[in-house]
Amino acid sequence: MKHVLSVLALAAAAGAAAPALAQTAGPTYRSIASGPSESPPNASFGTSLTTIEIDDSKILIDTPFRDLTGTTTMAHLHCCTGSAFTGTAGIAVPFEGFPTGVKAGTYSASIPMFEESSYDPAFLAANGGTVQGAASALIAGVNANEAYVNIHTSAYPDGEIRGFLVAAPIPEPAEWAMLGAGLAGLLWMGRRRREEDLPLGLKT
């Protein structure tokens, strides 16, 4: 029950922030990150509801997260997997200044689209070595659902929770609550399934 309430609280917080984000002009993308969405999947109850907006000059990021198993070590935007909603990819945009050593928090940033320091050197090199090439590749990957947010922790150094970005309008707070309720239900079902697989003496 604690984890269900946590997901709902995170959804409500994201919904409350939506009107402020909606004032910007760029297209909006959302990502629901979880342990089961990792590659390989894990049993983390951590969640993150990320909103990203991209305009002609910057990437606006708002990432509240909570209930992580380990403490945060880093976070990134990865691109491009080559297939929608599946696979793994290298780091495209590091989340500089992401809070570390915590299990819950919020990261908000405005990242310049056309500065070399905004991109991982390998991603920059793989896309012509120019910020224009990197920006074009990133936008194409995001629109193709081949980019994902990944939060790494001490418990899962290769990534504890991740979620692919999808294009969507900013939802109303009530829609965020419904989204959170749906995610909470999935987490509950996953927990019940794991408990059913346990030997009889180990079930709670």
Please determine, for residue 16, whether its predicted confidence score (pLDDT) is greater than 50. no
Closest CA to 46 of 104, 94, 98, 95: 104
Q: What is the rounded distance in angstroms from the CA atom of residue 131 to the CA atom of residue 114?
A: 5
Task: Give pLDDT, residue 26.
Answer: 77
Q: At residue 116, what are phi and psi to the nearest 5 degrees?
A: -60, -35
Task: Give pTM, 2 decimals.
Answer: 0.74
The predicted-structure confidence for 141-156, as pLDDT tens digits, reads as follows 999 999 999 999 999 9
Q: At 22, is the pLDDT very low, low, confident or very high (cuts 50, 70, 90)?
A: very low
Rounded mean pLDDT, 192-204: 54
Q: Domains in the chain, please, with CATH? A: 27-170 (2.60.40)
Q: At 2, is the pLDDT very low, low, confident or very high (cuts 50, 70, 90)?
A: very low
Kind plus residue range of the DSSP H or E element containing 189: helix 173-197
